[in-house]
Amino acid sequence: LSQSRKGVAAARNLGVGLSRGRYLAFLDSDDYWRRKKLEIQVAYMEAHPEVHLCQTEEIWLRNGIRVNPKMRHRKPSGDIFRPSLDLCLVSPSAVMIRRDLFERVGGFDTSFPVCEDYEFWLRIAVDTPVPLIPRPLVFKRGGHEDQLSRSTWGLDRFRILALEKLLRSGLRGEKRRCVLETLSRKIAILAQGARKRGKEQEALAYEGKLAAFFA
């Protein structure tokens, strides 16, 4: 299947829309699966019918050399909402998700050119556990020049949009407080960077976003 320059979110949504299986799995062009990855995940999902999605551990390769992920990239298991607020802790290539959950949350948001996975998994993690199968069943490759995360500067700009979307969804209580704390930190960093570049109006615009939510 092919569609012209509509982005990774639209590509995944197209694939899901034309597929028929009960379970969905994604494989980014950077990555590849180990043998039996799907078999192991299907068995896990069938043995735990209460589970709506799961992910596996992965092996990181940078320019063909194995590297260890930093502590902040370590995947939690179960309730991953709070630790996922700073950065995405779900790897699309390591996931298996039930179709009914994907359709209930509405798929990937095509308005996000990057960080679409961060926004999508946070939307799910608000009220859905994400168990981890502690086996490295995915090779995750990075370091090359055409990597999507290198194509756009300031990824936190899009994480801020995702956090704002969560707050507008009616999030309440402790989880709302955690989102506001994360949003405050990210906006402070972006505002400081804007001022260093002499863009005071841009800095004030970021701070105005935060003030509106606290109001």
| Beta strands per DSSP E along the chain | 23-25, 32-33, 53-62, 65-67, 95-98, 132-142
Q: For residues 148 and 8, is the Cβ–Cβ distance under 8 A?
A: yes
Q: How confident is the model at residue 3 (pLDDT cuts 50, 70, 90)?
A: confident
State residue 213's pLDDT score. 82
State residue 100's pLDDT score. 96
Q: For residues 156 and 63, is the Cβ–Cβ distance under 8 A?
A: no
Q: Which residue has the higher pLDDT, 170 or 96?
A: 96
Q: What percent of the chain has pLDDT over 70?
A: 95
Q: How far apart are CA 164 and CA 201, in angstroms?
A: 20
Tell me the pLDDT tens digit for each residue of 121-162. 999 999 999 999 999 999 999 865 555 555 556 799 999 999
State residue 152's pLDDT score. 57
| Beta strands per DSSP E along 40-111 | 53-62, 65-67, 95-98
Q: How far apart are CA 24 and CA 6, in angstroms?
A: 21
How high does pLDDT run on average in the chain?
92
Compute the average pLDDT of residues 162-191: 94
State residue 148's pLDDT score. 56
Residue 81 has pLDDT above 60, yes or no: yes
Q: How confident is the model at residue 167 (pLDDT cuts 50, 70, 90)?
A: very high
Residue 205 has pLDDT above 60, yes or no: yes
State residue 63's pLDDT score. 87
State residue 151's pLDDT score. 53
Give me the half-sphere count of Cα atoms (radius 13 Å) on the Cβ side of residue 170.
Answer: 0
| Residue appearing with tokens 């179960």 | 78
Q: How confident is the model at residue 99 (pLDDT cuts 50, 70, 90)?
A: very high
- Residue 36 β-bridge partners: none
What global pTM score does this model have?
0.90
State residue 121's pLDDT score. 97
Q: For residues 25 and 92, is the Cβ–Cβ distance under 8 A?
A: no
